[in-house]
Amino acid sequence: MDTTSLRHHITQAKLLEEESGQLAAQLSRKAPSLHHAIQMPLNNAVTALLDFVVRYTEHVPQFVDVLSMIGSNANCSQHTEAVVNACTDVFDTPVSPPAQHNGLTTLMAQAYIAHRVIEEVNDHYVMQCHEPLIPMDMTRSNLIIHQLIGEPEANHLDLIAQDLAEQLERDHLRLDSGALDQNASREIAWGIEVSHWPCLTDTLAVNLSLGQGSSNVPNLH
């Protein structure tokens, strides 16, 4: 699915949510039992969570468009396009029985897989090249979405993302295969000004409280 189609798909899912309120009802049930480290406005928690899910999902087409552009500018498209295709192809693949999910609920799960693939690939680049593929960290947002999806489904989605990331690493991102230029990630990471791309610096109303003086992300799983 290309990003134009994906954006249209997200718009249609938002309209469906306005009519059905399916995801809002799901979030209303989950909100009281979410991990205490997840901060959200007390007077409109469900609205904040719903907005978080929408923006998290919309971030995928924004990000992959930027990644394509950066890869082209840095002459690294052979690496970046493989990641782009993996992330967008997720939205062509059902992640659960149609009777259980539709609309934004399904897109939330698919976006989670895409973001987790990006997270895994970034970790791989850091290990291989000591730089991320792209200077963006969605770890906190991914932890929150993991909570909203709930277990065991979120754990199943993690396995899908890990399999996709491992395939990318094996086929496109191996230093010893000669497919990955050791300078590629540095060219990408240092070849842009992150502030030019809002999707790389976006902050949301829902966040994680790590506690004063703490640098560790809490274990929400």
Over the chain (221 residues), the average pLDDT of each successive run of 10 is 93 94 92 84 86 92 85 75 92 67 87 93 80 77 90 93 90 59 54 55 59 45 51
Provide the number of structural domains found in the chain. 1
The verdict on residue 189 lying in a domain is yes
Instruction: Find the DSSP H helices in 90-197.
Output: 103-129, 139-149, 153-171, 184-190
Which of these, 187, 158, 162, 184, lies nearest to 173 by C-alpha position?
184
Is the Cβ–Cβ distance between 199 and 141 less than 8 Å? no
CB count, 10 Å around CB of 157? 22
The letter for the amino acid at 137 is D
Measured distance CA(43)–CA(62) in Å, rounded = 30
Q: State the pLDDT at residue 32.
A: 87
Asked, for residue 216, whether it belongs to a domain, the answer is no
Tokens of 202: 């976006």
The residues facing 219 across adjacent strands are none
pTM of the model: 0.84
Residue 215 within any structural domain of the chain: no
Q: Which residues contact 203 (CB under 8 A, 6 or more apart)?
A: none
Predicted pLDDT of residue 112 = 95
- Per the listing, tokens 């990006």 go with 118
- Is the distance from CB of 40 to CB of 27 less than 8 angstroms? no
Domain interval for residue 184: 3-206
In a domain, 220, yes or no: no
Task: Give domain status of residue 211, yes or no.
Answer: no
Indicate whether 33 belongs to any domain: yes
Indicate whether 221 belongs to any domain.
no
Question: Within a domain: residue 121?
Answer: yes
pLDDT computed for residue 140 by the predictor: 85
**pLDDT of the residue at 77:** 79
- Burial state string for 14-48 with b = 16 or more CB within 10 A and e = fewer than 16: beebeeeeebbebbeebeeebeebbebeeeebbeb
